[in-house]
């Protein structure tokens, strides 16, 4: 367990160091990382890869067993996670701003996503049961369509005083689903069990990543991970571990660089982060998730963390010109992400201290030993 915790804390320590270094560097030379060419493409590719590896790890048999819980979280839990913190931010910060609730809704949508890359790095060393991992991994991987719907086809048009029209979103969703079904049919009938299956699958994955970067539709890489699983990656898990760790570090650098050039509104960010982490996430997890054990439920209740997914969505919305003066959405979402990271690290450290406390571990062993002795005595009596 100490090795598991050490690896996780090492990953977070390196990420924090990279983020702080990028922050100091950007602040010193006044580098606006948003002006770097192809940054948005790089972030899109990284998110597509992270989404794929997140669903690549899902045991499909276990997912089928938990599909009811996952659907409830996506259809009811994610909207609650968006609307509840948005109401808090609007009341505390945007109460006198025209269209303030829609701007607050955009900010809330950005940080409502559970980052799949961060979640993947956490779950690899979490010690959670497979059934519980499936719930959190599916939640992190599949909440993107819901948040994109709220961001670009509800809150953004309302903030720009335009009419609400989900037609484009539904059209893109249908196109993505059509491509997914086509790939599934081709894979099932023409590629599976072929001599070059692994290489063909890697080629298909490359095409999926390129399509995602060009279209901005992040559902496809998440769902193809359920059936396109190259043997090369299955037999060499260190490949996916290395790739996701590198992407995690890139996320920290981007986040730190942006923090160095944006005027930070810490109180506004706190008014968004507090209800997101301690209210919305915990309420949804407590109400909608059943029969996963106390420790795993606590992990999920305290499992909200942001990453590059939130940053990409922030950049896309920032380019529309929507948001408060002096910093736009960045000025609120960046501190909210940092507050959430602080809440996540501190709360999970306390949870680790409770779960792995020597007294608790000793007590658990004594209970198991007592149970075995009781069983032996019962056998002798019989």
Look up the CATH number of the domain holding residue 364: 1.20.1530.20
Helix 100-112 / helix 78-93 crossing angle, nearest 10 deg: 140
Q: Which residue has the tokens 């609650």?
A: 80
Distance between CA 148 and CA 325 in Å, rounded?
24
Range of the domain at 271: 2-373
pLDDT of 235 reads: 87
Question: Which tokens is 68 given?
Answer: 């009811």
Q: Which residue has the tokens 């999920």?
A: 300
- The sign of the CA dihedral 322, 324, 328, 330 is negative
pLDDT of 124 reads: 72
Does residue 381 fall inside a structural domain? no
Is the separation of the CB atoms in 135 and 289 below 8 Å? Answer: yes
Distance between CA 252 and CA 334 in Å, rounded?
12
pLDDT of 3 reads: 45
Distance between CA 148 and CA 155 in Å, rounded?
10
Distance between CA 134 and CA 128 in Å, rounded?
10
Spans of the chain below 50 pLDDT: 1-5, 361, 363-382
- Sorted by sequence, the CB contacts under 8 Å of residue 237 that are 6+ apart come out as none
Does residue 278 fall inside a structural domain? yes
Helix 330-355 / helix 266-274 crossing angle, nearest 10 deg: 50
pLDDT (tens digit per residue) in 68-118: 888 899 899 999 999 999 999 998 888 767 678 888 999 999 899 888 767
Distance between CA 248 and CA 305 in Å, rounded?
12
- Sorted by sequence, the CB contacts under 8 Å of residue 64 that are 6+ apart come out as none
| pTM for this prediction | 0.74
Distance between CA 123 and CA 344 in Å, rounded?
14
Does residue 42 fall inside a structural domain? yes
pLDDT of 108 reads: 94
Angstrom distances, CA of residue 127 to CA of 4, 55, 124, 299, 372: 8, 18, 8, 10, 24
pLDDT (tens digit per residue) in 204-247: 999 999 998 888 777 788 788 888 999 888 888 888 878 878 88
Give the angle 145-56-125 at the CA atoms, nearest 5°: 105
pLDDT of 325 reads: 57
Distance between CA 330 and CA 314 in Å, rounded?
7
Question: Which tokens is 374 given?
Answer: 């009781």
pLDDT of 372 reads: 47
Nearest partner of 308 among 15, 71, 59, judged by Cα: 15
Query: Cβ–Cβ contacts within 10 Å for residue 355, how many?
Result: 16
Does residue 380 fall inside a structural domain? no
Is the separation of the CB atoms in 59 and 130 below 8 Å? Answer: yes
Count: domains in the chain: 1
Does residue 131 fall inside a structural domain? yes
DSSP conformation class of 277: I
Does residue 92 fall inside a structural domain? yes
Centroid of chain to Cα 223: 15
Does residue 382 fall inside a structural domain? no
Does residue 318 fall inside a structural domain? yes
Cα radius of gyration rounded to whole Å, the chain: 22
């Amino acid at each position: 367990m100490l090795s598991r915790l050490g690896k996780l804390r090492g990953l977070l320590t390196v990420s924090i160091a990279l983020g702080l270094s990028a922050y100091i560097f950007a602040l010193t030379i006044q580098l606006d990382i948003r002006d770097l060419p192809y940054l948005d493409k790089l972030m899109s590719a990284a998110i597509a890869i992270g989404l794929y590896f997140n669903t690549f790890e899902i045991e499909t048999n276990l997912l089928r067993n938990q599909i009811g819980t996952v659907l409830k979280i996506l259809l009811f839990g994610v909207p609650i996670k968006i609307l509840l913190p948005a109401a808090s931010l609007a009341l505390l910060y945007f109460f006198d701003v025209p269209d303030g609730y829609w701007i607050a809704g955009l900010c809330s949508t950005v940080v409502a996503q559970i980052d799949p890359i961060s979640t993947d790095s956490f779950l690899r060393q979490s010690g959670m049961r497979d059934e519980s991992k499936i719930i959190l991994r599916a939640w992190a991987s599949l909440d993107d369509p819901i948040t994109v719907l709220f961001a670009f086809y509800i809150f953004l048009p309302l903030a720009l005083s335009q009419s609400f029209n989900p037609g484009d979103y539904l059209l893109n969703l249908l196109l993505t689903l059509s491509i997914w079904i086509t790939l599934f049919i081709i894979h099932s009938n023409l590629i599976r069990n072929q001599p070059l299956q692994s290489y063909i699958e890697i080629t298909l994955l490359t095409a999926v990543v390129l399509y995602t970067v060009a279209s901005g539709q992040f559902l496809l890489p998440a769902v193809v991970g359920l059936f396109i699983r190259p043997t090369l990656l299955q037999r060499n898990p260190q490949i996916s571990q290395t790739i996701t760790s590198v992407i995690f570090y890139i996320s920290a650098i981007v986040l730190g660089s942006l923090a160095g050039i944006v005027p930070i509104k810490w109180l506004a960010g706190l008014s968004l982060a507090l209800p997101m982490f301690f209210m919305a996430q915990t309420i949804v997890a407590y109400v909608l998730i059943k029969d996963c054990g106390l420790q795993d439920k606590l992990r999920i209740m305290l499992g909200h963390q942001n990453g590059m997914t939130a940053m990409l969505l922030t950049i896309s919305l920032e380019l529309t010109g929507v948001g408060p003066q002096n910093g736009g959405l960045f000025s609120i979402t960046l501190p909210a992400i940092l507050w959430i990271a602080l809440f996540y690290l501190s709360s999970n450290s306390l949870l680790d201290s409770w779960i792995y406390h020597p007294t608790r571990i000793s007590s658990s062993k004594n209970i198991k030993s007592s149970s075995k002795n009781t069983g032996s005595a019962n056998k002798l009596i019989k």
